[in-house]
């Protein structure tokens, strides 16, 4: 019997990808995300995987766990995927999927329905080769794009007993894989003052906007590129009209950090912001959402295995440290993780989001071969 080379069928991957992208699934639309989860569940069951649905809560869609049983006991290998996208329904027009040359364009195509299609191919490929390997677990979540509020605990619980975690977020520039991510904090800063008519009784007013404006300058001044720390006040709103001293104002703040110690320090500094103005209160809500994820010896050896699997496929797999947070950030401190194992393409989170169809075959084979290799160790 020939040794299987674990090369999934790219036509099948493309068919799954088109079907999944057509099922538009913005995070906020629980019913649509759950419909996309259900489409994945059907395909997994057809391929012989055991599936478990985790009902959605707090307005988010269902999550889905699956097991591809192996012939050996031991720690599972976990494949991590999400089905939600950032695009409102209809953002790409009435027909969301378009093919132009060797590009498939559509909402969530590269981030990360392409990766989900690779995961489905992996299940079929390994099911067809019942070699003794440790169990392969797959987790498909519904709320990654908003920071995984209802899936984080599940991700951590699945990753804790796992030997390795493979994440199929998009490949980076030049086919790169992700071996580090900056940490992310999110905050809402609110000022509450006292309203008055600006013409009739200006002295009685206490402007929430003025106090918030001072706080914004303080926040922006915390940015420190030498420590790779960035703070961004991304939105501001407040006030009700030009002739009213504003009672309310609020700003949304994004914090990016590299070093776990910096995360604590900057989190504390943001929380310590206070109003210096009599009659106006300032409150801060939020915190560190995803901790920084840094390379470890476990991640280094996983990267070496991925390069071994990628070399015969013509994939060099440069390693990339990225500024974006992701679900891999939750697990990197406890289990070796490699991210960016999804498809190649570009324009994630934009209306031009696309997948390079020529990447389906090699990236599919990479994921299947790496998973097989790791699960046999």
Site residues for Zn ion per CB under 5 A: 111-112, 169
Q: How far is the CB of 112 from Zn ion (least distance, A)?
A: 4
Q: Residue 141: which of 298, 319, 330, 10 has the closest Cα?
A: 330
Question: Which residue's entry shows tokens 């080379």?
Answer: 5
**36: part of which helix (H) or strand (E)?**
helix 30-46
According to DSSP H, which parts of 165-207 are helical? none
Q: How far is the CB of 175 from Zn ion (least distance, A)?
A: 17
According to DSSP H, which parts of 280-354 are helical? 297-310, 328-331
Question: Which residue's entry shows tokens 């378009």?
Answer: 98
Of the pair 227, 349, the CB lying nearest Zn ion is at 349
Of the pair 62, 111, the CB lying nearest Zn ion is at 111
Q: How far is the CB of 242 from Zn ion (least distance, A)?
A: 42
How far apart CA 222 and CA 256 sit, in angstroms, is 11
Exposure string of 146-180, with b = 16+ CB inside 10 Å and e = fewer, is eebebbbeebeebbeebbbbbbbbbbbeebbbbbb
Q: How far is the CB of 168 from Zn ion (least distance, A)?
A: 9
- Residue 51 near residue 77 (C-beta atoms within 8 A): no
Of the pair 167, 216, the CB lying nearest Zn ion is at 167
- Residue 124 near residue 47 (C-beta atoms within 8 A): yes
Q: Residue 230: which of 349, 329, 323 has the closest Cα?
A: 323
How far apart CA 84 and CA 82 sit, in angstroms, is 6
How far apart CA 197 and CA 178 sit, in angstroms, is 54
Of the pair 158, 169, the CB lying nearest Zn ion is at 169
Q: How far is the CB of 246 from Zn ion (least distance, A)?
A: 37
Angle of CA points 158, 121, 176, to nearest 5°: 75
Of the pair 179, 196, the CB lying nearest Zn ion is at 179
Of the pair 34, 85, the CB lying nearest Zn ion is at 85
Q: Give me the residue whose beta carbon is nearest to Zn ion.
A: 111
Of the pair 64, 112, the CB lying nearest Zn ion is at 112
Q: Residue 108: which of 228, 218, 15, 24 has the closest Cα?
A: 24
Of the pair 193, 325, the CB lying nearest Zn ion is at 325
Q: HSE-up of 137 (CA within 13 Å, CB side)?
A: 22
Q: How far is the CB of 261 from Zn ion (least distance, A)?
A: 27
Q: How far is the CB of 46 from Zn ion (least distance, A)?
A: 25
* 235: β partners: 252
Q: How far is the CB of 52 from Zn ion (least distance, A)?
A: 22
- Residue 76 near residue 161 (C-beta atoms within 8 A): yes
| Tokens (6 digits) for 35 | 């419909």
Q: Residue 186: which of 240, 218, 234, 114 has the closest Cα?
A: 234
Of the pair 25, 211, the CB lying nearest Zn ion is at 25
**284: part of which helix (H) or strand (E)?**
strand 281-290
Q: How far is the CB of 142 from Zn ion (least distance, A)?
A: 12
Q: How far is the CB of 11 from Zn ion (least distance, A)?
A: 24
Of the pair 107, 135, the CB lying nearest Zn ion is at 107
């Amino acid at each position: 019997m020939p040794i299987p080379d674990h090369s999934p069928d790219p036509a099948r991957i493309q068919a799954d990808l088109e079907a999944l992208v057509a099922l538009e699934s913005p995070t906020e639309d629980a019913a649509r995300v759950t419909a996309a989860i259900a489409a994945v569940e059907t395909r997994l069951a057809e391929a012989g995987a055991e599936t478990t649905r985790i009902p959605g809560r707090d307005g988010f869609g269902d999550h889905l766990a699956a097991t591809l049983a192996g012939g050996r006991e031991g720690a599972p290998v976990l494949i991590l995927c999400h089905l939600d996208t950032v695009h409102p329904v209809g953002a790409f027009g009435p027909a969301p999927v378009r093919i132009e040359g060797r590009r498939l364009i559509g909402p969530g195509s590269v981030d990360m329905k392409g990766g989900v299609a690779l995961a489905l191919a992996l299940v079929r490929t390994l099911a067809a080769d019942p070699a003794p390997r440790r169990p392969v677990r797959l987790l498909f979540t519904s709320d990654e794009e908003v920071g995984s509020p209802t899936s984080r605990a599940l991700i951590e619980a699945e990753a804790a007993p796992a030997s390795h975690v493979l994440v199929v977020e998009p490949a980076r520039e030049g086919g790169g894989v992700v071996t580090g991510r900056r940490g992310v904090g999110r905050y809402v800063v609110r000022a509450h003052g006292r309203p008055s008519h600006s013409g009739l009784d200006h002295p009685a007013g206490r402007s929430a906007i003025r106090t918030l404006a001072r706080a914004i300058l303080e926040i922006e001044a915390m940015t420190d590129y030498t420590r790779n720390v960035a703070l961004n006040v991304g939105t501001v709103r407040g006030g009700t009209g030009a002739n009213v001293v504003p009672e309310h104002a609020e700003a949304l703040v994004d914090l990016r950090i590299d070093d776990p110690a910096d995360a604590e320090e900057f989190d504390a500094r943001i929380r310590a912001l206070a109003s210096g103005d009599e009659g106006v209160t300032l409150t801060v809500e939020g915190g560190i959402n995803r901790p920084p994820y840094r390379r470890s010896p476990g991640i280094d050896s996983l990267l070496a295995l991925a390069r071994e699997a990628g070399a015969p496929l013509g994939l060099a797999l440069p390693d990339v440290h990225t500024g974006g947070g992701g679900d891999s950030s939750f697990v990197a401190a406890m289990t070796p993780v490699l991210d960016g194992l999804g498809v190649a393409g570009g324009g994630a989170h934009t209306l031009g989001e696309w997948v390079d169809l020529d990447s389906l075959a090699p990236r599919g084979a990479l994921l299947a071969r790496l998973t097989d290799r790791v699960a046999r160790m």
